[in-house]
Structure 1
Amino acid sequence: MASRKRTLLKVIILGDSGVGKTSLMNQYVNKKFSSQYKATIGADFLTKEVQVDDRLVTMQIWDTAGQERFQSLGVAFYRGADCCVLVHDVTSSKSFDNLENWRDEFLIQASPADPETFPFVVLGNKIDADGGKARQVSEKRAKQWAAAKGGIPYFETSAKEDVNVDTAFATIARNALKNETEEEMAGPVPASLVVEGIQYATGVGIALGIALSSLPILSGEAREANERRYLQPTEEEEANSIRWGVMSVLSVIPYLSPLAWVFAGLDDETYSSLYYVYAALYTLPYLTNGLQLNSFVLLSIAAGIAHVQIERLALTEPVEVEFPETAGWLARQGSNLLRGLLSSGLEVSERVSDKAERAQQASTARPDRKELAEKSAEARAELRYFDRKAQDAESRKRPVPESLRRAKDRSDPRPK
């Protein structure tokens, strides 16, 4: 049997005031429904443990205020959400029309790593109202809107009659878990795995580099290009040959061997970028092994010695290799292909690096799940503060009852 792993998922419920967000949450978590309406002030949350496949999931469901004057109190709790539930009242067209605003507001405030794929679920609540006769938003219209927003799952629910509530939240839990799993995959990779990956990529890069340097010799291009140079070299070509001789010596010296390719890049503008890549490739074995000479580093030094000699022959010597004409043509095509692949590989590497950087930024910005669970008490204390603040603001707007005003007037000794 697979071991169970406990996971905390944060779910945010958004929608206009009075659409039934609190009732849906209470029905799902506590199996209770109250017909007495009480507006949510700020935000509140309940938790429930559910089993999703082989994962034991703790859902932390946040109910936020739908009234406009309390919305600013809730946005602080959007960040770190794994799924967002958008709720509208099927008897209110306005609540449905406002779903677009709620979705946009969430994406702005929560700033998910990938807004295009972040999981939303839409619930059309109160399908039981007046036996279904009070409906203003058809199921077809709601489904079309959800489909147009990237195929968002849509459920019609009744918090009062407990219709589709469990089914909807099962989908919410599954989608939230999928989102968290994908973000975990994009998170930090163990250091040992990074080192192994770098060493493997370095080995492949060195092998491709040697193959690329060998192809001009195998295809006959080196002989054709270097015959005149070998018989009647110019002063610059003689100096270049001497420099390659010095580079050959450098390639043998541990720790200094990558400098051979640095000097080659400084000397040759045509292939300077390629030579700098070679220099980086032959530097990586030292860096990944803490500048120690282990078997991988020694192997890279041996490969580097051979690589420098092959490149020197290809550029300075009219080397002739007996090779069938067809094989020579294939070698020339392979040379062009490898050069193209190397260029494409560099572009892909840059894109992957950029994506990894964005994923790392998203991971560091995302709150730790255990920390979020441990701070539930602090969150509730903060919510109580918001409640008192909002209630004070509301009480100041509430008119004084006539009976109290008269009592105050009678007790006031000042002359009228």
Structure 2
Amino acid sequence: MSYDRDEEQSQDYLFKIVLIGDSAVGKSNLLARYARNEFHPNSKSTIGVEFQTQKLDIDGKEIKAQIWDTAGQERFRAVTSAYYRGAVGAVLVYDISRRQTFDSVGRWLNELQIHSDMNVVTILVGNKIDLKDAREVSTEEGKTLAETQGLFFMETSALDSSNVAAAFQTVVREIYNILSRKVFRSKEEKRNEKSSLSNGKTVILQAGTDETNNGGKRYWCCSS
């Protein structure tokens, strides 16, 4: 992630967000719907890694979300370390019509924790809500798991666009909020440091972490 350090200029931010979850849960179609407003009903499993960049405007700042997509199949798991590196956001997807994909959520969360180099803002997404008659995972089950793990939660349909943009934007906005609080606190510390130095007092500088209301988790992403 990068941004212009000149406080007088408009700051640009680049956030890396990864799509994770079992194969065929609709990760690629979620990204296609969000980035290009496309849906491919006969799309095949993603081979390798690809990403799309979307721009958002938050508080007058241009935010670029670089969203990475890779296959969930075991034979492509060798890319995980590089795939997760530098990610500050994650969209963890399961298929509401296939319980086994919901049962895999814990494994994906564990992998995210192992391979990412920082705590990652994560949303749990139950996709394919258009398949109402085939539902195997209730909305309440998804909400309960998300609350237990301290995640955001949303159900989506890449087919009819339901909540797709909202899911990605929730992650981007939370990352931005965390960064904004960190930058604000850093400025306050600098002001306090200058004040203390001018008064001839000893200044002790300590590294800290960000706390959010998202399940009480600590985030140490977004270094300024």
| Bucket of the pairwise TM-score, normalised by the shorter protein | 0.7 to 0.9
Larger radius of gyration: 1
Q: Secondary structure at the match of 1:91?
A: coil
Task: Provide the residue aligned with 1:88 in structure 2.
Answer: 94
Alignment partner of 1:43 is 2:49: yes
Structure 1 residues 61, 354: CA separation in 2 closer, same or farther (over 3 Å shift)? closer
Alignment partner of 1:138 is 2:144: no
Residues 35-61 of structure 1: per-residue CA shift (max 9 Å, x gap): 112111232100111122322211100
Task: Provide the residue aligned with 2:214 in structure 1.
Answer: none
Higher helix share: 1
TM-score of the two chains, using structure 1 as the length reference: 0.45
Task: Provide the residue aligned with 1:29 in structure 2.
Answer: 35
Does the CA-based 8 Å contact 1:14-1:63 persist in structure 2? yes
Alignment partner of 1:121 is 2:139: no
Does the CA-based 8 Å contact 1:64-1:74 persist in structure 2? no
Structure 1 residues 202, 367: CA separation in 2 closer, same or farther (over 3 Å shift)? closer
CA distance in 2, matches of 1:367, 1:43: 26
Task: Provide the residue aligned with 1:170 in structure 2.
Answer: 169
Residues 290-327 of structure 1: per-residue CA shift (max 9 Å, x gap): xxxxxxxxxxxxxxxxxxxxxxxxxxxxxxxxxxxxxx
Higher strand share: 2
> Over the residues paired in the alignment, what is the CA RMSD in angstroms?
2.9
Displacement, 1:168? 1.5
Equivalences for residues 45-60 of structure 1 within 5 A:
45-60=51-66
Does the CA-based 8 Å contact 1:126-1:157 persist in structure 2? yes
Q: Which runs of 4+ in 1 moved over 6 A?
A: none
CA distance in 2, matches of 1:355, 1:92: 42
TM-score of the two chains, using structure 2 as the length reference: 0.80
Equivalences for residues 5-404 of structure 1 within 5 A:
5-112=11-118, 115=119, 118-129=120-131, 132-150=132-150, 152-182=151-181, 184=183, 196=194, 199=197, 202-203=200-201, 353=206, 355=208
CA distance in 2, matches of 1:195, 1:143: 44
Displacement, 1:64? 2.0
Please list every run of 5 or more consecutive structure 1 residues that lacks an aligned counterpart in the other structure.
204-280, 285-348, 357-361, 369-416
CA distance in 2, matches of 1:193, 1:367: 18
CA distance in 2, matches of 1:158, 1:195: 50
Residues 206-232 of structure 1: per-residue CA shift (max 9 Å, x gap): xxxxxxxxxxxxxxxxxxxxxxxxxxx
Structure 1 residues 185, 77: CA separation in 2 closer, same or farther (over 3 Å shift)? farther
Does the CA-based 8 Å contact 1:10-1:81 persist in structure 2? yes
Does the CA-based 8 Å contact 2:146-2:153 persist in structure 1? yes
Amino acid at match of 1:170: Q
Does the CA-based 8 Å contact 1:125-1:157 persist in structure 2? yes
Does the CA-based 8 Å contact 1:88-1:123 persist in structure 2? yes
Q: Which has the higher contact order (CA 8 A, sep 6+)?
A: 2
Amino acid at match of 1:121: I
Displacement, 1:75? 2.7
